[in-house]
Amino acid sequence: MRRRAALTLPLLAVGCAQSPPSREQALPALPSLLDQAPPAGGRLWKADATASLLRIVAFRGGAAARLGHHHILQAEDFKAALWLPDSGLAGAQGELRVRLDALQIDAPAWRAAAGGEFNEKPVGPEAIAGTRSNLLKALEAAAHPEVRLQLLNLSGAAPWWIAALRLNLAGRAADYRVALAVAQTPERLRLQGRIALRHSDHGLAAFSLLGGLLAVQDGVVLELDLQLR
């Protein structure tokens, strides 16, 4: 069963405080786990995108915020993998990639499930199409169509892990930390977490209209519920 329409996750994991913006510094490129064979002496887990959830929640802002909408974005498809050494978490490698044009926006079922301010008023097809166009422009998707999330470090002990992550968005990278809730069987691994992100961490200006009367807030939430096999 696809989980993209289910909005509320169990409160098992909460994103930790992020590091200071790192767009001013040159961050080194990391090897890609998705483009090369994993190291020996460990186990490779691959995400089942149809059973997983990758969601971004953006919030309305500006002096006339009540005229706008909060937005829910979810990925129809993405690739993710995690390699865990046999010896423990030290040296673990992980990567997630998603194309910005693979994000779907504001499905009525998602908004209804969220309730509250997300369900105050309907968002029609024309508004959704306009939001999608504005989003892709604001995130510089034409020049940088892919978002890449890579694992820097993994620590803790199941059912609680702490992951240091590097997010590459719009050609700029910023580092974050997130607490992960872990559930594992011999054949399945589930990771749940939330990360607080900011447009400004990646040198981006949040979308706005009418001199800022209507805007998207700088802060957004990236929610992960990865089902790996």
Q: Express each pLDDT in 84-100 by its tens digit.
A: 999 999 999 999 999 99
Which secondary-structure segment (H or E) carries 156?
Answer: strand 146-157
- Residue 120 burial (CB count, 10 A): 11
| 171 DSSP 8-state letter | T
Q: Which two tokens stand for residue 30?
A: 């990391």
The two three-digit tokens of residue 188, written as one number = 């399945």
Say how far apart CA 21 and CA 221 lie, in whole Å: 16
Handedness of CA 3, 121, 137, 176 (dihedral sign): negative
- DSSP secondary structure letter of residue 15: B
**If DSSP codes are grouped into helix, strand and coil, which group holds residue 132?**
helix
Q: How far is CA 185 from CA 19, 89, 226, in A?
A: 32, 16, 14
Structural tokens at position 72: 């829910």
Instruction: Return the amino acid letter for 227.
Output: Q
What is the pLDDT confidence band of residue 210, given thresholds at 50, 70 and 90? Answer: low
CB of 69 within 8 A of CB of 60? yes
Contact 10, 187 (CB under 8 A): no
The residues spanned by each domain of the chain are: 43-228
pLDDT tens for residues 104-155?
A: 999 999 999 999 999 888 888 888 888 888 888 888 889 999 999 999 999 9
CATH number of the domain located at residue range(s) 43-228 in this protein: 2.40.128.110
Asked if residue 28 has pLDDT above 80, the reply is: no
Q: What is the DSSP string of 17-61?
A: PPPPP-TTS-PPP---SSSSPPPSSEEEEEB-TTT-EEEEEEEEE
Q: Tell me if residue 169 falls in helix, strand or coil.
A: strand
